[in-house]
Amino acid sequence: MIQPGIRIGSRASRLALVQAEYIKSRLQQAHPEVAFNIVKISTQGDLNRRVSMGELPGVGFFVKEIEAALMADEVDIAVHSLKDMPADVPPGLALTAVPEREDPRDALISRGHYSLSELPPGAKIGSDSLRRAFQIKAVRPDIQVVSIRGNIETRIKAVDTGQVDAVILAAAGLIRLGWRDRINQYLSLEIFLPPPGQAALGIEIRSGDDRRAALTAAVNHAPTHQAVKAERAFLRRLGGGCRAPIAALGTVDGAVLTLRGTVADESGRTIITDQASGDVSAAEKVGIALAERLLSLGAAQFINKAGE
């Protein structure tokens, strides 16, 4: 007997729909007695493609409208790219499941199939990320980083048409879209540490909705979920929605969770990096401990300045 359908809220971009379809198929496989359908929702981030992310007010540009639909009972489950989710989940909602993370690295796509070190002097790399800008400058100070927004297709087209010489994108998105062959170089995590949550998906429901919590538990990957908890706790303690470039990646080895994190000033000239480890069951404590350590090392002045 088919039970009442479950509505899955998602952004309408190609990548978001691929991700939502993946979650839908996983849930359908685990619960063949339930009907699932996807509801497309436009977000502020989708509607303001010409505005730099740094100029958009507040946080949660790609999730607010979906969360509003969830709160209004217009959808039952929301699927997000976790890196788009603010550190604090709104009251009344809960992040209940995180599937296994895809490759967390950044990837370079360039004209001429160059690696980052092979790009010509003064080459232009398109990016709207302060984090990527300072990471690029750390290894190639001659590179020009130019602001570029739009979906993945738009940014790749900017390379193909000569608007820029290269772009840096999350490898996970390219892999999920089936465009692995466009990647010219996977960038080292030692230098290009990703933002909290990169390559992971988050499933959000209304708090206290035991039925949906039980449904979504089928796709949860405990090591990824714990790693992401540490990354988000790290971000939350540093100020959540601050504009300072912040990067973090948690890894789980048995019962040990290790979190590496970075905070930089907006110019990228001063960068503070450290790591912390602890029991996987205390993921949030690991994240908070690392944030406290970086704040004590001077990151507080970057956070305060970025929040002004």
The yes-or-no verdict on residue 109 having pLDDT over 70 is: yes
What are the residue boundaries of the structural domains of the chain, listed by start? 1-98+200-220, 106-186, 221-308
What confidence category does residue 240 fall into, taking pLDDT thresholds of 50, 70 and 90?
A: low
Q: Provide, rounded to the nearest whole percent, the portion of the chain with pLDDT above 90.
A: 80
User: Whole-model pTM?
Assistant: 0.91
What confidence category does residue 150 fall into, taking pLDDT thresholds of 50, 70 and 90?
A: confident
What confidence category does residue 60 fall into, taking pLDDT thresholds of 50, 70 and 90?
A: low
Q: What confidence tens digit (pLDDT) does each residue in 161-188 have?
A: 999 999 999 999 999 999 999 999 999 9
In words, the CATH class of domain 221-308 is alpha beta
Kindly report the average pLDDT of the chain as a whole number: 91
Three-state SS string across the chain, please?
CCEEEEEEEEECCHHHHHHHHHHHHHHHHHCCCEEEEEEEECCHHHHCCCCCHHHCCCCCCCCHHHHHHHHCCCCCEEEEEHHHCCCCCCCCEEEEECCCCCCCCEEEEEHHHCCCCCCCCCCEEECCCHHHHHHHHHHCCCCEEECCCCCHHHHHHHHHCCCCCEEEEEHHHHHHCCCHHHCCEECCCCCCCCCCCCCCEEEEEECCCHHHHHHHHHHCCHHHHHHHHHHHHHHHHHCCCCCCCEEEEEEEECCEEEEEEEEECCCCCCEEEEEEEEEHHHHHHHHHHHHHHHHHHHHHHHHHHHCC
Q: What's the pLDDT at 50?
A: 54
* 106-186 shares the fold of 1-98+200-220: yes
In words, the CATH class of domain 1-98+200-220 is alpha beta
What is 106-186's CATH superfamily? Periplasmic binding protein-like II (3.40.190.10)
What confidence category does residue 244 fall into, taking pLDDT thresholds of 50, 70 and 90?
A: confident
- Is residue 46 part of the annotated active site? The answer reads no
Q: Which of 46, 76, 84, 165 is catalytic?
A: 84
What confidence category does residue 300 fall into, taking pLDDT thresholds of 50, 70 and 90?
A: confident
